[in-house]
Chain A
């Protein structure tokens, strides 16, 4: 059973890295990308992925706002925030807005795996 992933980050560079991480994890397939919060919500509605990785600081709409909006659409949305160092308070805000967990850059593949597994075990 393959889990579908939506990758959201305004840097193409980061999106590629995250895609590659999922590429090396069996059972996952990245089905969409978005580069800002507005696009993230659109893509979520279109794809209804099993998992969303969400950057925090983005143009047009932040990851926190997007997480809030997506969680309003779908309470079960599994959003994992991707934060840089020093953004703890933002991460916590995102968690309040509906994110289920977070990973900190630079990523380690094992860490991503651990967080993703945990989040996907959460049932409605």
Chain B
């Protein structure tokens, strides 16, 4: 069978199980007796084993099999979960993750599987020996008995028709005792079983040497019996002999204590039958298909607005009704598709507890991670881009923010230290806050460091507000290389976080109090591709600005402008903010000013509130944004294009990087 087409599904499902396993082990670290979690972990290892075996990934199958066995012993109460056990389990999960990644890249992972397997088995052996207890045995004593409906007799007259059948099960049968068991059952239908070796109980316990001997009293002809037995499959040889006169023997094969693992609990919760609610009908769909849907809807929106534009000059009731109906349909379709693309933040935050645990251990710090709002949803492409930035921010908290336990005690700060991740939603924006109760950042220290690194001049430093100083950490070159390697070994600084967030139409806010802690807030739009934009004109060009970046629009009177050292300022809610000109930013020629009013878009750039003067505010539109291709995407200040109703293509401005 061609396995390659299943590879994608294998990877997706295996990773889901592994993420689940990670969570479960961490939960068991806190609550080692939680039966449900133990069962779930067992099932997850089992699933991975099954899939890997089907795909022929033997390393993964073997490792997950051993982990399944280990979990099974926990389930049966033969061992209990200790810190050592969870460490081993986490090691196993990590190894499986690396093996799965290697599968994806068609490469080999450098993992000592036999070594790990020994470790897992070793834990079990040492625990069983140490506790001195035998595995819980639910085995019944093994005696040879015929089936209940047959009378128990000690002797049979030799004249009874029947056979002594010897059945050898094929050595490459994957489940020989089960096969023998099935054959035995089939034979029972044809006569009366007088004796079997091994006994049925032994067979069920897996004590099967490969050959089944059956003494059967039957009127069926040998030929027919042979046909039936061979038909059951996996029979390598078959011998028929006469029934002897020997009395019953009751060989006891119960060799004191060692069970073959007869499992009463077949992995399901005993006793309860959950009430059956309406069963959910779900499908798994390829992400490329979702992207296709969004693109096509975007095209529909563009086409729709062109139709509207054209229809403006045609007075037809039917046309207008048709277009309105079209509007409704496309809007509904869009809502549905966008909702399918939404994923809860949990999909990235679920791996954070593990990251924090490992990092905290490594740094020798005591840290508690609190996550709120995990069910808040974002477009999946935004979620994808957030993973690394968030982890980097958490690392900063742990590496630089949180003090070591001694220092905290001296400062009378609580232990464990806290790192918070809070996600919340307001209208069409999502806020993700990463904060800690550690050292905080001192703006003066940041300014000094920036001056030393040559990023700003001493004059700029002295003019900088406290808030702007905090934003210095986002400057490329602020973090030194040695501080900056992330988990996957690539350099990541706060500038990379900013670069990840802003093109999506998002922004960063930084707040910090020295001695108390730091809070970094990411503000993100709910969706990427179809957003509300503000259209502005800098004649003859029109530009789109994501509404999420617009604080306010206003009309300023010429006479209200203030000048200071060649820089214009206007009043915005009681504060003077610098006024920049979009025309100037894009080096367009100045135009003579006609009216006494200037249209201004107020926005925030690098922590500073600024006003951007434009020729005209055209209006708000729903726009489908297409990303820029190379090399146009290297131009600072623009981050996408959209098509207007009149068919013109215009640029979407990347406000954070205009200046």
Residues in A lying within 8 Å of B, measured CB to CB: 10-14, 16-17, 20-21, 37-39, 42, 55-65, 83-93, 95, 101-102, 104-109, 114-115, 118
Contact = CB atoms under 8 A, between A and B. Distances in A.
B618 interface: no
Nearest to B231: A118
Interface stretch (B45-53, B96-104, B371-379, B386-394): B45-53
Interface residues of B, number: 43
A12 B284 CA distance: 9
A106 B276 contact: no
A38 B276 CA distance: 8
A45 to B, nearest CB: 12
Contact of A106 (B13, B53, B204, B232): B53
Name the residue in A16, A59, A64, A84 with the highest tally of chain B Cβ atoms < 10 Å from its Cβ. A84
Contacts of B10: 13
B232 A14 contact: no
Given A90-B263, A91-B178, A101-B182, A17 B6 contact: yes
Interface stretch (B266-274, B325-333, B344-352, B400-408): B266-274
A80 to B, nearest CB: 11
Closest CB pairs A-B (n = 3) = A62-B268, A104-B174, A91-B178
Nearest to A102: B178
B566 to A, nearest CB: 66
Contacts of B178: 83, 88, 91-92, 95, 102
Nearest to B268: A62
18 contacts: A11-B47, A14-B51, A17-B6, A20-B1, A21-B1, A38-B276, A57-B46, A58-B267, A65-B268, A85-B174, A89-B205, A92-B181, A92-B204, A93-B204, A101-B182, A106-B55, A108-B1, A114-B233
B235 to A, nearest CB: 12
A19 to B, nearest CB: 11
B210 to A, nearest CB: 13
User: Which of B13, B177, B182 neighbours the largest number of chain A CB atoms within 10 Å of its CB?
Assistant: B182
A62 B266 contact: yes
Which one of B51, B266, B267 has the highest number of Cβ atoms from chain A below 10 Å of its Cβ? B266
Contacts of A83: 175, 178
Interface of B: 1, 6, 9-10, 13, 43, 46-47, 49-51, 53-56, 65, 174-178, 181-182, 185, 203-206, 231-233, 260-263, 266-268, 273-274, 276, 279, 284
Nearest to A61: B268
A88 B53 contact: no
A60 B277 CA distance: 12
A51 B625 CA distance: 51
A88 B266 CA distance: 12
A115 B205 contact: no
A101 B204 CA distance: 15
Among B49, B50, B205, B232, which residue has the most Cβ atoms of chain A within 10 A?
B50
B175 A11 contact: no
Contacts of A93: 204, 263, 266
A13 B182 contact: no
A56 B47 contact: no
Contacts of A55: 50
A82 B289 CA distance: 32
A86 B51 CA distance: 14
Contacts of B274: 38, 60
Contacts of A10: 47
Contacts of B203: 92
A11 B12 CA distance: 11
Contacts of A58: 267-268
B261 to A, nearest CB: 6
A107 B56 CA distance: 10
Contact of A56 (B177, B181, B231, B266): B266
Given A86-B65, A90-B266, A105 B181 contact: no
Contacts of A91: 175, 178, 181
A105 to B, nearest CB: 5
Nearest to A114: B233
Contact of A39 (B185, B233, B279): B279
Given A62-B268, A90-B266, A105 B53 contact: yes
A17 B47 contact: no
A13 B13 contact: yes
A1 to B, nearest CB: 21
A89 B268 contact: no
B54 A89 contact: no
